[in-house]
Structure 1
Amino acid sequence: MDRKDIEKIIVDSLFISEKRPGNTVVDITGMRGWFSPFSEPYANRIGLVSDHDVETSIQEAIDFFRSRNSGFTWIVRPGDIDAQLPQLLMKNGLTPSRFHKVAGMHLESSAISGTENSQISVREIAKDEFTEHMELITRAYGAASKAYIEYLYAPSAHHDGVQSRMYLASLRDGQEPVGYGYCSYIESNSVMMLRGAAVVPEHRNKGAYRELIRQRLADACENEVSHFVIQSARDSSYSTCLRFGFEEVCPLELYQWLPS
């Protein structure tokens, strides 16, 4: 894979949920994306595929979601950043999203560096266990309803037409999980994408987040996957990913719009 291939995979994987049952493809000229049953901006995602008449595309997107009383998130690609699209989006009422400045990152390795943290236990859960841990996952994610979290993550396999896996982390001296990590196998299972992961506030900075990354990578290596990608928030997971050997491939920015 060359750098352009990897960049395309990173951007395309942000639209992995486009054809999920219950979603509607957004039919706007020059754009891609979907509209879900949820009004949360991150549940509805769009982005440019053509630079033709961008101002019109922005207004059509706003009109589309305003008529449905729903928010949306706009994925800004590297070339869009260079073309000053963020400034144009903000001029039209969009604001930086919760996950605003993001690094598209890639790791190629057949073995994962770093030793297991003896103070943290990580295990994969089956899809029928998901509802048992909904409260924990919702609390770790933060600022979202349980119904939205279920839409985002459950069931923990195949809901986007790809194999997906959900993990929970626990402290060795406690029984209750303190965080979760999610991943999907894409590109005919040749690439593993690290997706959402979070730890409840009172147990952050104890190593659980790092161990959730390490275990997902290690399990993928056992399945002979050697390419890994992530869209890493610069203000949270970025430095941890660097320590695992991830390299930045491209910058991305996310902006959101909410109805008044």
Structure 2
Amino acid sequence: MVDAAALLAAYDAQMRIPAGAVPSGMTYEHDGPILRIAGGHVGRIRAPRDVGVTGAELDRLIARQRDYFRARGQGVEWKLRAHDLPTDLPERLVAAGFVAQEAATVLIAFAEQVAAEPVLPRAVVLRQVSAAEDLRRFADLQTEVFGADCSWVAADLSARVSADPGQITILVAEAGERLACTAIAVYEPGTEFVALLGGATLPQWRGRGLYRAMIAARAREAVSRGFRLLHVDASAASAPILRRCGFHEITTSTHYQWTPPR
């Protein structure tokens, strides 16, 4: 039996505040218990499980983050998990103008149990990329799959690679001249975790094992680097596949988003 409570405790202890190299063009600033990340496509707030303040003090903390990004003319997202404290933080974020986005399922797996030789459809090649043109194609595929402008992803990935190329692996599955699937692995320094991000598959390639192949490849690389655990914030479409691959649900996460008025 998997000790879900132990996995959740490891996640809370190690995966709340980014510990790696700061991507170029971005700044990490602490405001009391929270970390404010600026300079990217959107501002981000990361926090421990319990922010440690309540009531009017919490309202002021929230307002400072909103107003900081308002002054920049930029939106900001505050990431919450279902077990975070204080329990009225979601309501206070909404009162400050933040809007809850669709919840994701937080899943964790043991890398050794998931690692395998990736099995790819015929004529599909798995490639690690970092060149500017490949990152643009990566972003273009994400725009096509998600139906939203993801052009910013190319610059974001380039900044991550520039900051520390050893902290990130960017994978594409290529069918001829066309990308069919994308995936990212971020190796969190000082932790047991590798975060699996960026999974997107063109509709015509779904159901053919590409997503599973990307999971297997990243898990194998995680093991080779000495990382024990894999983490995913999974969409409703991805969560069932991950469960079949051996991932275990520990909580849910929700981004509360504030957008500056036009």
TM-score, normalised relative to structure 2: 0.79
Shift of the 24–169 alpha-carbon distance from structure 1 to 2, 3 Å rule, reads same
Q: Deviations over 1:79-133 (max 9, x none)?
A: 4366032222122211123xx31233221242437774441635232423x4235
Map 1:101-120 → 2, pairs under 5 A: 101-112=103-114, 116-119=118-121
- Give the partner amino acid of 1:23: M
Gaps (5+ residues) in structure 1?
none
Quote the Cα distance in structure 2 between the aligned partners of 1:232 and 1:109: 17
Quote the Cα distance in structure 2 between the aligned partners of 1:228 and 1:222: 13
The equivalent of 1:84 in structure 2 is 88
Give SS of 2:114's match: coil
Give SS of 1:87's match: helix
The equivalent of 1:6 in structure 2 is 11
Whether the 8 Å contact between 2:21 and 2:163 is mirrored in structure 1 is no
Whether the 8 Å contact between 2:138 and 2:172 is mirrored in structure 1 is no
Shift of the 81–63 alpha-carbon distance from structure 1 to 2, 3 Å rule, reads same
2:156 to 135, 152, 156: 152
1:23 to 18, 26, 32: 26
Map 1:177-256 → 2, pairs under 5 A: 177-188=179-190, 190-233=192-235, 235-256=236-257
Shift of the 24–155 alpha-carbon distance from structure 1 to 2, 3 Å rule, reads closer
- Give the partner amino acid of 1:144: D
Quote the Cα distance in structure 2 between the aligned partners of 1:82 and 1:251: 16
- Give the partner amino acid of 1:83: T
Q: Deviations over 1:185-236 (max 9, x none)?
A: 2234743221222123443343322222222112333444432222223x23
Quote the Cα distance in structure 1 between the aligned partners of 2:201 and 2:86: 34
Residue 258 (str. 1) matches residue 259 (str. 2): yes
How far did 1:164 drift?
Answer: 1.0
Deviates more, 1:51-60 or 1:19-28: 19-28
Q: Deviations over 1:40-79 (max 9, x none)?
A: xxx3211344332211111111111111110011011344
Shift of the 194–58 alpha-carbon distance from structure 1 to 2, 3 Å rule, reads same
Give SS of 1:144's match: coil
Shift of the 201–81 alpha-carbon distance from structure 1 to 2, 3 Å rule, reads farther
Quote the Cα distance in structure 2 between the aligned partners of 1:132 and 1:106: 29
The equivalent of 2:98 in structure 1 is 94
Residue 66 (str. 1) matches residue 80 (str. 2): no
Quote the Cα distance in structure 1 between the aligned partners of 2:111 and 2:157: 27
Cα RMSD (Å): 3.0
TM-score, normalised relative to structure 1: 0.80
The number of equivalent residue pairs is 247
Quote the Cα distance in structure 2 between the aligned partners of 1:17 and 1:177: 29
Shift of the 81–209 alpha-carbon distance from structure 1 to 2, 3 Å rule, reads farther
Give SS of 1:80's match: coil
